[in-house]
């Protein structure tokens, strides 16, 4: 391990630390990859296959003014920090190495003061972030009530209305932007997504003639799957682009008599008495404080004996705060919040629904993200031409980083199945054991 005193001795004639020396101090001397900087300094093994290159003083400002993932993302997305040894559509190997082998430490105050003198006070003055970044949370709060219909629509627009063409390249023919369920390790992404819809359909005990409400329906994958099996399905999405794509797919498949997609807020659905409600990937956008109202609303849409399937990303425990990290909140899911599966189950139970079953599919989501990144790499040139280099880099970074999160159990994916009981606890005659296959 290289000690700070050695850095001080080896500093330039002006006593300043190089950028590489500063990084080594924060990394406690452990550098599993090669780091180079515009000041000519370097750190880490010369033969490392993976590396980072800090190219500009602006990149230093981004890193210094937003320590952590947000500063790294700003520098990378703007082109001030480059990754080596990985494709920008799938930087998984480098991100995995950073999280597994690096443990950044805050140095003592005396050392921090030396670092500040070395990089220069001018690099501690915040500058404008890349244009792909959403407003900070306090600005969003100032400009609209959090999780109001208008603000939720803005948040969904930021993430989902990028480009249907772009999503087709990343997601593949299923146009399904939620965790797949792989029936075998070597199954294709399309097989796994179809199997996910089959699993949800079976858990909800749907059969021809039943009625399904799918909230946050995306491009209508669940709606169309249900309609192909004789179920009358209504899907709602806040994304105008998703609704347009889904309606066209319904028309092309000749499912118009059974399938409907509405461009609206789920809270505007007036019909009731549904046999089942599916919420696949929407709870992340609701806000934890709004869970009681959310699950109460979904319950109100069910007939007695009807089933709810809630499928969403969760934290690995119930102690962490709900708010997302800087990068995710500003570049991916503005206003998104995650909590543990225990909190979700509690909220579902507290509105009077009976929880029947839950399972964790986190390994399946890691595999799903692997396949989405593979698609992005395959269509990289077209994706860049469609949405721009910076946005394409955001997606590669976000998906590869999320894969690391699922693999390392920082986040999980849980499906929770619940039933609306009658006043005496009757469930409409459900079977005694699970009626679906895994």
Q: Tens digits of per-residue pLDDT, 247-290? A: 999 999 999 999 999 999 999 999 999 999 999 999 999 999 99
Domain with residue 225: its CATH number is: 3.40.50.150
Which domain does 66 fall in, by range? Answer: 4-124
Give the model's pLDDT for residue 161: 52
Number of domains in the chain: 2
Q: What is the pLDDT of residue 99?
A: 87
Give domain status of residue 428, yes or no.
no
The C-alpha angle 351, 356, 360, rounded to 5 degrees, equals 100
pLDDT attached to residue 1 = 35
Q: Tell me, what's the pLDDT at 112?
A: 87
Give the model confidence (pLDDT) of 84-117 as tens digits: 999 999 999 999 998 876 666 778 888 889 999 9
Question: Would you list the DSSP string of 269-327?
Answer: -----EEEEEEES-GGGT-GGGHHHHHHHHHHTEEEEEEEEEEEEEESSSSS-SBPPHH
438 in a structural domain: no
pLDDT computed for residue 3 by the predictor: 40
Indicate whether 84 belongs to any domain.
Answer: yes
**pLDDT score recorded for residue 321:** 83
Three-class DSSP labels, 222-280: HHHHHHHCCCEEEEEECCHHHHHHHHHHHHHCCCCCCEEEEECCHHHCCCCCEEEEEEE
The per-residue pLDDT for 6 is 43
Please list the ranges in the chain whose pLDDT falls under 50.
Answer: 1-10, 147, 151-153, 155-160
- 111 and 209 in a single domain? The answer is no
Backbone dihedral angles phi then psi of residue 236, each to the nearest 5 degrees: -130, 140
Exposure class string for 353-370: b at 16+ Cβ within 10 A, else e: bebeebeebbbbbbbbbb
111/154 same-domain check: no
Per-residue pLDDT, 148: 52
The verdict on 167 and 221 lying in the same domain is yes
**What pLDDT score does 139 carry?**
52
- Three-state secondary structure of 325-379: CHHHHHHHCCCCECCEHHHHHHHHHHCCEEEEEEEECHHHHHHHHHHHHHHHHHC
**Location of structure tokens 């599966």:** 341
CB distance 380 to 392 below 8 Å: yes
Pick the closest to residue 35 from 53, 57, 10 (CA basis). Answer: 53
């Amino acid at each position: 391990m290289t000690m700070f005193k050695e850095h001080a001795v080896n500093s330039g004639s002006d006593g300043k630390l190089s950028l590489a020396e500063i990084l080594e101090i924060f990394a406690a001397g452990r550098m599993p990859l090669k780091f180079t900087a515009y000041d000519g300094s370097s750190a880490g093994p010369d033969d490392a296959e993976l590396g980072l290159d800090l190219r500009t003083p602006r990149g230093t400002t981004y890193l210094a003014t937003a320590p952590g993932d947000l500063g790294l993302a700003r520098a990378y997305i703007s082109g001030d920090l480059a990754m080596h040894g990985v494709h920008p559509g799938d930087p998984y190997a480098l991100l995995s190495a950073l999280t597994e082998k690096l443990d950044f430490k805050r140095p003592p105050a005396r050392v921090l003061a030396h670092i500040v003198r070395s990089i220069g006070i001018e690099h501690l003055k915040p500058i404008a972030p890349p244009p792909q970044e959403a407003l900070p949370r306090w600005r969003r709060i100032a400009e609209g009530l959090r999780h109001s219909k208008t603000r939720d629509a803005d948040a969904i627009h930021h993430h989902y209305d990028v480009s249907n063409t772009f999503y087709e390249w990343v997601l593949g023919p299923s146009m399904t932007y939620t965790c797949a369920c792989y029936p075998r390790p070597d199954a294709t992404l399309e097989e796994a997504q179809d199997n996910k819809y089959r699993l949800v359909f079976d858990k909800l005990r749907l059969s021809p003639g039943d009625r399904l409400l799918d909230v946050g329906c995306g491009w209508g994958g669940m709606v169309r799957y249900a309609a192909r099996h004789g179920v009358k399905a209504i899907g709602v999405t806040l994304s105008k682009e998703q609704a347009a794509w889904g309606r066209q797919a319904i028309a092309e498949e000749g499912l118009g008599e059974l399938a409907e997609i509405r461009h609206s807020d789920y809270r505007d659905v007036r019909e009731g008495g549904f046999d089942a409600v599916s919420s696949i990937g929407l709870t992340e956008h609701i806000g934890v404080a709004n869970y009681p109202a959310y699950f109460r609303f979904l319950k109100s849409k069910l007939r007695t004996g009807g089933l709810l399937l809630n499928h969403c990303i969760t934290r690995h425990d119930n102690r962490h705060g709900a708010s997302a990290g800087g990068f995710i909140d500003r570049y991916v899911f503005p206003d998104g919040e995650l909590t543990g599966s225990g909190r979700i189950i509690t909220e579902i139970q507290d509105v009077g629904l009976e929880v029947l079953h839950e399972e964790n599919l986190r390994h399946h989501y890691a595999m799903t993200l692997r396949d989405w990144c593979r698609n992005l790499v395959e269509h990289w040139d077209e994706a860049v031409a469609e949405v721009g280099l910076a946005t394409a880099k955001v997606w590669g970074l976000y998906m590869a980083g999320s894969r690391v999160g699922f693999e390392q159990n920082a986040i999980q994916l849980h499906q929770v199945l619940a039933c609306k009981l009658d006043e005496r606890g009757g469930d409409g005659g459900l079977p005694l054991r699970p009626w679906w296959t895994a």
